Structure formats: C-alpha cells, structure tokens
Amino acid sequence: MPVYQYKAVSVRGENIEGTYTAKSKNEVVMMLKENQNYPVSIQESVSKDIRDFQLLSKVKTKDIAVFCRQFYTMLNSGITIIQCLDILRQQVENKKLKKAVGEVYEDVQKGLTFSEALKKHPVVFPQLMTYMVAAGEVSGSLDIVMDRLSTHYEKENKIQNKVKGAMIYPIILSLVSAVTVIFLLTFVMPTFLSMFQSSGVALPLPTRMLLSFSEAIKAYWYVFIIVSLALFYGVKRFVNSEEGRLEFDKFKLSIPLINKLNQKIISARFSRTLSTLLISGIPLLQSLENVANSVGNRYAAEGIMKAMEDIQKGADIATPIKQTGLFPPMLDNMIRIGEESGTLDEILDKTANFYDEEVDFAISKMTTMLEPIMIVFMAIIIGFIVIAMVLPMFDMMQTVQ
C-alpha cells in the first residue's frame, strides 16, 4: 500500500503533520476525522518500491516490547511521561524508533497527549498501542497499560522468534543442497565428460540429461541468475500487493505441514490481543478491528471483519467467530463461556496462554518432520547425480571385459 503524507488541524487549532499507510486518500481522511482532526492536504509521498526498501529498517516487535517495558518501569518509579520520553529518546538503539520517540517527546512538550503524539507515527507505533495508551490516559492507569503492552509484545516477539528459528534448519539445508548440486554439475561432472566421450559407450538417458544441464549452467549461468532474480522480484511484488497478500495468506492456511501451525498462531494472537484490549477498557467492536490488524494474516483479518459486522448487528461473539472457519473449535467454545460468565477478557487470556504452548509444540513437531523430509529430498537429488555418473562407468567396464 502507498504511504501518504498529510497535514491537518486538530480541534485545538494545532497543525499536525505525519505519514500514514493506506489504500487510498479516503482512508487517510477517515483516519484523521476519527481522531478529530481536519485534513488540510494529503499527498502520496513514497512509491511502492522505495517503501519496500525502507521496510528493511522497520521497527521490530522486540524494540516495541523493550520500549513499553522501560516506559512502565520508569512510570512505576514516579517519573513523569516527559521525563520518560526524554530518557528513552537518548538510549533507544533503533534509529527509526529513536527519531519517532524524539518527535513524540517534542509533541508532548507542545501540549499533545501521549496517545495523540503516538498517532502521528502509525508506521512505528502499532494502532493497538495508541488505542490502549489513550484508554490508559483516560482511566489514569497508563503504567498498568504499558505493563500489559510490554507483556503482549514480548509474547508476540517470542512467537516470531520461534517461527524464524524453526525455518533456519530447512533454509540452511536447502542452501547446502543447492551449492552441492551446482558444485557437482560445474566442477565434478565436466571431469567425467572427456572420459565418457573417448570411451565411445552410448550414454544412458540420466547421464545425457545431467550433461546437458551441466553444460547449460556453465554456458548460460548469467541467464539462470537473471531469471532467478526476476522470478524472486515478481513473486515479492505479487505477495506485497493487496490481492497477492490475500491469496498468499489464504494459501498458507491450506498447506498440509504448516496450516495447523498458522491456525494456532492466529488463534494465539487473536485471543491475546482481544484480551489485552478488553482488559484495558477498549469497546468490543473497536477491539475487534484492532485484532483484525494484529493477527498477521490478511485472509484471517477479512474473516474477523465479517464476523464484526454480524456482531454489530446484534449477534453474539462466538457464533460469527465460529462461522469464519479460521479457528479451532475450542476458541469459539471458550468465547461462549466467557460471554455467559461475563469474564471474556480473563477467559481469552487463559486461551492465549494455552495456544502459546500449542504453538511451541506445533513448531517442534514441524521441525522434527521437516528434518527427515529435507534429508531424503537432498539424498534423492544427489543420488540421481551420482547414479548418472556411475552408470556409464559400468558400461565401460563391460565393454573392456
């Protein structure tokens, strides 16, 4: 989605400038009006390709978790918000976050509330965070809110790290396999080529195929690189588009090995985020909208938004959530129990902890299953190459005898 640079006037008559990622200018206008700001000008400031490059330096979940934890610690010690921001802007390591915290510090000094200052940086500070901070300011429990936010983002960072850690082994094994195959085809195979040609023995089909592929790599290696890079860029562009992201996220929920893992990750994020928002006093519909943006899956987000429409019409929460087909049966049953008992926030918190453990188990199980699959796959490829090189040798030996 494009990034828009906007200028607006608040209800206090103050000039506000910032950036916002949205599908269209109308969405930016709606965001400003929801925050009781009046738009003056809205312009698309960053092209798609440049934005993709800038994402390389984006603020990580870990950075937000550390920021919230440090902010809570200082607030709990009696330090004022301005003093907290002044200290944090000097010690934050992430450059993008450091710049944003410095601007928030300046805005708060000018008279804006902490939540209003955070809203001016939607790319850095998640919408979930700004809503909860606003609720904490109204209720006078900002320190408690920052503690909940730090716990929330620490758990989210833990899940992200486990998923990334689980993918390290197959990625390394894939790279090793690719390097091994390229080495065999470009350095080992040519040494046998002259021997095969001088022997006069008819080469079997696997050997002819391998020799042709080896010669093609040596002669047109630059073509393979260009095609690979173009394919990678094309797939990346498609996945980053609205339609592509939706289809890719839908596909992830149908892959046999990882669909259950993705479902549990979405369930954990849904339960934890909704519980955190409800405990902080955010209205249900507003909470669900934030949850949809926090699950990390566009297809699941659309399902949650459809469920929210039914809830807005008067339906209970459990039934529309069940009808999405996105979540395990346990989740809608726990939601129903929470609705009936009036303890939905507590039930969802316990459910999130349960799915956190389920995610741990699912990742371990997936890693255990991937290891032998990758080893067998690598053995088949290298085995085919070895057999293709050995078969002509047997024919040569028989000819000599």
pLDDT for position 401? 53
Q: Are residues 299 and 329 in the same domain?
A: yes
Q: Are residues 73 and 12 in the same domain?
A: no
In a domain, 220, yes or no: no
In a domain, 39, yes or no: yes
Q: Are residues 32 and 132 in the same domain?
A: no
Q: Are residues 122 and 31 in the same domain?
A: no
In a domain, 351, yes or no: yes
Q: Are residues 72 and 37 in the same domain?
A: no
Among 124, 156, 188, the domain-final residue is 156
CB-CB contact of 266 with 326 (8 Å):
yes
In a domain, 104, yes or no: yes
Domain membership of residue 33 as a residue range: 3-47
Q: Are residues 349 and 258 in the same domain?
A: yes
The model's pLDDT over 105-160, given as tens digits with 9 standing for 90+, comes to 999 998 889 988 998 888 889 888 888 888 888 878 888 889 988 988 898 888 88
In a domain, 279, yes or no: yes
pLDDT for position 53? 39
Work out how many domains the chain is built from and give that number: 3
Domain CATH for 306: 1.20.81.30
Residues of the chain with pLDDT under 70: 1-3, 11, 21, 23-24, 44-57, 194, 196-201, 395, 397-401
DSSP string of 203-258, one letter each residue: PPHHHHHHHHHHHHHHHSHHHHHHHHHHHHHHHHHHHHSHHHHHHHHHHHTT-TTT
Among 156, 185, 207, the domain-final residue is 156
pLDDT for position 199? 67
Q: Are residues 14 and 98 in the same domain?
A: no
pLDDT for position 44? 67
In a domain, 190, yes or no: no
Q: Are residues 284 and 346 in the same domain?
A: yes
Q: Are residues 8 and 78 in the same domain?
A: no
Averaged pLDDT score across all residues of the chain: 83
pLDDT for position 209? 84
Q: Are residues 270 and 355 in the same domain?
A: yes
In a domain, 180, yes or no: no
In a domain, 128, yes or no: yes
Q: Are residues 303 and 322 in the same domain?
A: yes
Sign (positive or negative) of CA dihedral 50, 56, 57, 61: positive
Q: Are residues 123 and 151 in the same domain?
A: yes
Q: Please enumerate in sequence order all residues whose Cβ is within 8 A of that of 146, keeping only pairs 6 or more positions apart, or say none.
A: 68, 69, 71, 72, 75, 133, 136
